[in-house]
Amino acid sequence: MARVVVHVMPKAEILDPQGQAVHRALGRIGVTGVADVRQGKRFELELDGEVSDAQLDELAATLLANTVIEDYEILREGEQ
């Protein structure tokens, strides 16, 4: 079965309070060497039929990402 992965990340110019909270917490467990943390979403779609690139783009832009503040990336994995 083919899989499609969609990454949704806050745009570079958008503040990311969740990522910043993780970044601050790193000090508590003694981890230095991390300059920045960004937190986004990962969607894994298991396909059992044909889904076109245009449909994937539409569903990512409509359902998965808020394109005002987030960028998305669509990756097809496995056989079509």
Helix (H) or strand (E) holding 70: strand 70-77
Cβ neighbours for 6, distance < 8 A, ≥ 6 positions apart: 42, 43, 45, 56, 60, 64, 65, 72, 73, 74, 75
- Binding flag, residue 69, its own copies (CB under 8 A): no
Taking the C-alpha atoms of residue 79 and residue 41, their distance in angstroms, rounded to an integer, is: 24
Q: How far is the CB of 9 from its own copies (least distance, A)?
A: 7
74 interacts with its own copies by CB under 8 A = no
x/- mask, its own copies, residues 9-48, rule CB under 8 A, reads: x---------x--x--xx--xxxxxxxxxxxxxxxxxxxx
**Interface residue list for its own copies (CB under 8 A):** 1, 7-9, 19, 22, 25-26, 29-51, 55, 58-59, 62-64
